[in-house]
Amino acid sequence: MTFIDTWYNNFSPKLQAIACHFGYIKQEAEDIVQSFFLDLLQKNIAIEEIKNHEAYVVTAFKRKLIDLHRAQKRKGSIEEIESFYIPSAQEIIEELERNQELVSRIAQAYKKLPARFRRVIYMKYYQGYSTEKIVTQTGLSPQTVYNNLSKGIQHLRQHLRNEPLVSKLASFLFSFLP
């Protein structure tokens, strides 16, 4: 299996979704992604020089969308495609490593939560427990655990939104949704 196969398996759903984001219907999006990977097969890619595979593939795909646009099959404006940015998991972590301000904002929002919400959030995201495991650990009912988690996350997002936002935080955490 070549690395292109691996890319295809890992990233094609995301690329199709990006194409749909710019107005192509599902079938068109599938075709575009297929032909995109066929193009890649023709290219001589120096795989060992690519540090972040996901970011590389997404960027190359954006170029493909721009090419299509230029070829009069226009969907989405060129500027829109250019500025469209979905960070890969690796880029998200790198941003968090760089941006202490951002991390402490999230920590502050977390600290404002009532203890019952913090407890289940801590267990899920720090200790990595499944919801069932939290149920057995705490003795709470499954519904209570679910509600606490769900409410906790809602409140957390609310706190983050209401903060006098540092622009970086805003653009990072809420780059797409209103």
In the complex, which residues of this chain contact other proteins (CB under 8 A)?
9-10, 12-14, 16-21, 26, 29, 86-87, 89-90, 92-94, 96, 102-103, 106-107, 110-111, 118-119, 121-131, 137, 146, 149-150, 153-154, 156-157, 172-174, 176-177
3-class SS of residue 126: helix
Phi, psi of 151 (to 5 degrees): -65, -40
Q: Which of 158, 163, 150 is nearest to 105 (CA)?
A: 163
CB of 63 to other proteins, least distance (A): 19
- Whose Cβ is closer to other proteins: residue 44's or residue 115's? 115
Rounded to the nearest whole angstrom, what is the least distance from the CB of residue 94 to other proteins in the complex? 8
Closest to 22 in 3D by CA, of 84, 115, 72: 84
Cβ distance to other proteins smaller for residue 16 or 72: 16
The nearer residue to other proteins, 14 or 69, going by C-beta atoms, is 14
DSSP state of 22: T
Q: What's the min distance (Å) between Cβ of 121 and other proteins?
A: 7
Other Cβ atoms within 10 Å of 29 Cβ, number: 21
Between 60 and 122, name the residue whose CB sits nearer to other proteins: 122
Q: How far is the CB of 78 from other proteins (least distance, A)?
A: 20
CB of 72 to other proteins, least distance (A): 23
Tokens of 15: 């690329």
Amino acid at 23: G
Pick between residue 1 and residue 177 the one whose CB is nearest to other proteins.
Answer: 177
CA 137 to chain CA centroid, Å, is: 31
